[in-house]
Structure 1
């Protein structure tokens, strides 16, 4: 049975992880090329820094978490061709906007992997989501495929869109219990079929390679607040 990355000790940061199928230096450079001009207009500069492992140390470099505006972004090398992406948002990493955009800019695939535990008594609502983005526009933005099982606080829902991938098990999508249609084990298997071992800490920062952290320096959104993290 699959376990959450680092036993979910670094939630909410690791509940959603982005992946780009390219080198981390190239991914970070593309992010800077995209954001520098945007941020300069508001008096913000972007600083790049190397962050050494192990993985918990790299994740703590994102602190403090912030609401309204994310301020720190992490690009991590892995044991495969994929680079992992995380940010310091207090509700977890915002994967879609940066990863789907950079996939087009870099001409590579991008992935969103979301695995939220389901503990309604603690106001934690379950979600298992896989989104695959491509380098070119599709019928909907640059989505290639999405599979999702989510709980909104009232009920579970399940959805799919895009082209079924060769590694999928569509028969499971007919399960009577909605949350059983796309489970953490299934997400793990799908990701591994793509070369992503997302829930194994040893997958990240191989051979003592450092992560790349990009940080905004300067004015922040007026309503932004720092939020305490449990790690």
Structure 2
């Protein structure tokens, strides 16, 4: 009798290539253009994006099977390369990135392809939850989640999201399609609101079959669009697929901090050193329209610079308001000398008191690994013992189970601790009162993001009791005075 499969293994078996190319295939973007046109559009976006590589942008056409073409993305984690694949629906092209996890297509799919070019896009994500607590080390696995974001000719059309927050939560926004079973979204159990089969059903009605291998490269064609660095090697980490999966998608082995094999196999960083064509970068040209907040954006950018060890840029986004998000950061690390941070800010944030903007700026920056290699995740992300203390404190405040993703809660607290350690900033009653005074969210999706688990009130309470969490008895990263 075969061994019993876990829920994560059962889901992985339904995903593209049985999940064997996760994390690359955990999130897939789709552009409503034929392959050749999509490759041109993507290259034009990269040229003007915050990915400003010294050697320009390389574009190469490839032929092969899906797995052969995916291998063109190796090594994972170093630089940035995108694989654009033809699909069985000639109207749509698929896009994947050489990520080790956490890829975001937000700027390319929404802010460029739709806002600038009015090209419809779809983003599909299905990641199994396989978290496993391990004695004496950080937990292995991924928290999991399922998301679908649809942008049509008129703008954001539909979004559905299932995310793990001890327990799972489900939210959706936009007008449902006629073919959706909207009654399902009211199921008592969040996992039953948006199962994998529902994601497949919606995608198929839109002309996509993202989890079927034969949906891709019917003629074996694809393009690689990549950042070039004049052939120079880099000290940045370069992962093989196995190294990137270790401790995350493959929890039978611990995570790889030093990808020895990947670094040895790819000393120059690229598996595709001779592109067909090379295009120059044109400088970062964000799509912006004159707004009443232009000066406030410049002022907020100065706040960001105070905490950033990288070049940083702020921009205004009216779309964040509908999602209930104050600010949204992204880090572009294309290799030697090209790391920078971009932060989109909402009108609510830009109109807020200076203390709100200042703390938010620090949070936007210090959540990333800094140039001196300091990292909130590595230095302050709680271990299982610390998580137990945090859950106890939340229970005492009537806030457990969490109403947000567990990783989101723990990571927010880790970044808060990082801020307190390297700056003079502290969460204060002014921030809590301002947050409490904000009007009720106007959309269901924004309401789902307005949670108590990550509110400044409980985070200030954690700040007051931080010595119960970050101390040498619970955490060997803390040095005893």
TM bucket by the smaller chain? Answer: 0.7 to 0.9
The CA distance in 2 between the partners of 1:39 and 1:169, in whole Å, is: 40
Deviations 1:161-189 (A, max 9, x none): 11112221111111111111101111001
> Gaps spanning 5+ residues in structure 2: where?
1-10, 133-139, 246-481
Q: Secondary structure at the match of 1:34?
A: helix
Give the conservation status (yes or no) of the 8 Å contact 1:15–1:93: no
Match of 2:164 among 151, 160, 163: 151
Deviation for aligned residue 1:160? 0.7
As a proportion of its length, which structure holds more helix? Answer: 2
Deviation for aligned residue 1:211? 0.3
Give the aligned length: 221
Q: 1:91 to 1:77 in 2, by over 3 A?
A: same
Deviation for aligned residue 1:107? 2.9
Q: Secondary structure at the match of 1:132?
A: strand
Q: 1:131-210 counterparts in 2 under 5 A?
A: 131-136=149-154, 142-152=155-165, 154-208=166-220, 210=221
Q: Secondary structure at the match of 1:164?
A: coil
Is 1:226 equivalent to 2:238 in the alignment?
Answer: yes
As a proportion of its length, which structure holds more strand? Answer: 1
Is 1:83 equivalent to 2:90 in the alignment?
Answer: no
Give the conservation status (yes or no) of the 8 Å contact 2:84–2:95: yes
2:59 match: 48
Match of 2:121 among 110, 122, 126: 110
Q: Secondary structure at the match of 2:28?
A: strand
Give the conservation status (yes or no) of the 8 Å contact 2:53–2:227: no
The CA distance in 1 between the partners of 2:92 and 2:190, in whole Å, is: 30
The CA distance in 2 between the partners of 1:14 and 1:99, in whole Å, is: 17
TM-score, normalised via structure 2 length: 0.43
Deviation for aligned residue 1:120? 1.7
Deviations 1:70-98 (A, max 9, x none): 51001111010210011112105422221
Q: Secondary structure at the match of 1:118?
A: coil
Q: 1:176 to 1:88 in 2, by over 3 A?
A: same
The CA distance in 2 between the partners of 1:42 and 1:61, in whole Å, is: 19
Q: 1:72 to 1:170 in 2, by over 3 A?
A: same
Give the conservation status (yes or no) of the 8 Å contact 2:45–2:108: no
Higher relative contact order (CA 8 A, sep 6+): 1
Q: 1:48 to 1:169 in 2, by over 3 A?
A: same
Deviation for aligned residue 1:224? 4.6
1:71 match: 80
Q: Please provide the CA RMSD for this pair.
A: 2.4
Q: 1:27 to 1:156 in 2, by over 3 A?
A: same
Give the conservation status (yes or no) of the 8 Å contact 1:87–1:94: no
TM-score, normalised via structure 1 length: 0.86
Larger Rg: 2
1:139 match: none
Q: Secondary structure at the match of 2:163?
A: strand
Q: Secondary structure at the match of 2:114?
A: helix
Match of 2:109 among 76, 99, 106: 99
The CA distance in 2 between the partners of 1:164 and 1:189, in whole Å, is: 13
> Gaps spanning 5+ residues in structure 1: where?
137-141
